[in-house]
Amino acid sequence: MDSGLVPSMGSIGDCYDNGQMESFWARMQVELLNYKRWNTRLELANAIFEYLEIFHNRQRRHSSLGMLSPIEYELRHTNNQARGQAS
């Protein structure tokens, strides 16, 4: 391609190539974007950053982690590894 862009790896009509991202955007819509209106794009950008870095990545419970927050999951994993090495 002249533009240097690479097309999506998914086939036409394949719903599985972006399902995880669509699920994420839907969750963010419900948990953040439907919650209020922002006066400026900067306020919205800051709210999205805070949602991602503070809430979603650190506090929100994830079904893929056994309904633990990422912090709880990491602490349990680290503690279990430390116990295993100490034995």
Q: pLDDT for 19-66, tens place per residue?
A: 778 888 898 999 899 989 999 999 999 999 999 888 888 888 888 889
pLDDT at 86: 63
In a domain, 11, yes or no: no
At residue 80, what are phi and psi to the nearest 5 degrees?
-65, -40
Domains identified in the chain, total number:
1
C-beta atoms surrounding 56 within 10 Å? 19
Residue 69 structural domain: 19-86
In a domain, 42, yes or no: yes
In a domain, 4, yes or no: no
Residue 62 forms beta bridges with which residues? 68
pTM above 0.85, yes or no: no
In a domain, 79, yes or no: yes
pLDDT at 22: 82
pLDDT at 1: 45
Exposure on the CB side of residue 79, measured as CA atoms within 13 A:
6
Furthest-apart CA atoms within the chain: distance in Å = 59
